[in-house]
Structure 1
Amino acid sequence: MNQSPNHENKRKQAVALKYQAGVMEAPKVVAKGKGFVAENILKTAKENDIPIQEDPSLVEVLGKLDLDQQIPPELYQVVAEILAFVYRLDKGGAKG
């Protein structure tokens, strides 16, 4: 999700995941985009106090998934770590 002024072809990218424990088998992609769309995804997340985790490598992989597609099992561990981070933020009363 990092944007470098030296690389004009390197546009900001964002992917939004949704997960409901006990309801969904695995997190799924609910929004994704580059450039202006990515900026809007990030803006919406900030406006709604949704924590943002910057991980350009993970965003690159998740960006290849289709909308409403569940993440593949090989990504469960890394996404679980992010969800644990978000859970700790929520329990601590911190805003992302």
Structure 2
Amino acid sequence: MKKAIALSYEEQMQAPKVVAKGSERVAERILEEALQHGIPIRQDKTLVTLLDAVQVSEQIPNELYGVIAELFAFLYQLDQTGISKK
């Protein structure tokens, strides 16, 4: 089953939060929106499984801070080099 989860983080936030999630057709729509807006997509089934327990608009749990921080740092580097805009 295809699943997608969208995260958002801004400096004033205490932690990243889930802004969208869904399966099958909803997941496809989330991915389409990300592609249309130049938002990088990362495939990680384990992380999706962990984040699936988080409700939309909720912050990620403390246990995931480290892995999400690494992900966001990687995405930031891609953005700085222009790779994520492809």
- TM normalised by structure 2 equals 0.95
Distance (Å, rounded) in 2 between the aligned partners of 1:52 and 1:85: 12
**Aligned partner of residue 64 in structure 1, secondary structure:** coil
**Aligned partner of residue 75 in structure 1, secondary structure:** helix
| Structure 1: gaps of 5 or more residues | 1-10
Q: Deviations over 1:6-59 (max 9, x none)?
A: xxxxx10000000002x1000000000000000000010011000011100100
Q: Could you tell me which amino acid in structure 2 is paired with residue 52 of structure 1?
A: I
Matches within 5 A, 1:30-45: 30-45=19-34
For the 8 Å contact 2:5–2:52, the answer to whether it is kept is yes
Matches within 5 A, 1:9-48: 11-21=1-11, 23-48=12-37
| Structure 2: gaps of 5 or more residues | none
**Aligned partner of residue 31 in structure 2, secondary structure:** helix
Question: How many residues were matched structurally?
Answer: 85
**Aligned partner of residue 57 in structure 2, secondary structure:** coil
The answer for the alignment partner of 1:85 in structure 2 is 74
Which range is displaced more, 86-95 or 30-39?
86-95
Looking at secondary structure, tell me which structure has more helix per residue. 2
- TM normalised by structure 1 equals 0.85
% identical aligned pairs: 49
The answer for the alignment partner of 1:51 in structure 2 is 40
Q: Could you tell me which amino acid in structure 2 is paired with residue 61 of structure 1?
A: L
Q: Over the residues paired in the alignment, what is the CA RMSD in angstroms? A: 0.9
